[in-house]
Amino acid sequence: MRFLVRFSSFVVLAAAVVAAAFDSIRSVARSAPDLMPLGKVWADFSPQSFDWLAQAVAQGPQAERMQKALTWLLLQPAFAVLGTLALLLWMLAWRRKPAAGRFAA
């Protein structure tokens, strides 16, 4: 299970790096900061899942709060959201080293 979470973290981190590279290229080309929001990237990449999420949030409990939270999240830069998600997944799969040391019985 830990392997799947680590692999997911790697894939999301790679997507964050790609999003950051695209944002930096666009910003240099325009000579001004130009960051793509997560909602636009997601809608361009997979419109079916984007529509499914919008319908699920609209029909779920506490739809107003979820709609506000989702709107806020989708307006954030894609590289920042993906980087944070990669960090959280990595932290979930992290295992502490034993306190007694490597050779303790």
Report DSSP letters for 22-54, one per residue.
Answer: HHHHHHHHHTS----BHHHHHHHH-HHHHHHHH
CA dist., res. 12 & res. 41, Å (int): 14
Q: What are 90's two structure tokens?
A: 């990595």
What are the CA-CA distances from residue 101 to residues 2, 94, 97 (Å)? 22, 17, 8
- Per residue in 1-52, pLDDT tens? 889 999 999 999 999 999 999 999 999 999 999 999 999 999 999 999 999 9
Average pLDDT score over the chain? 90
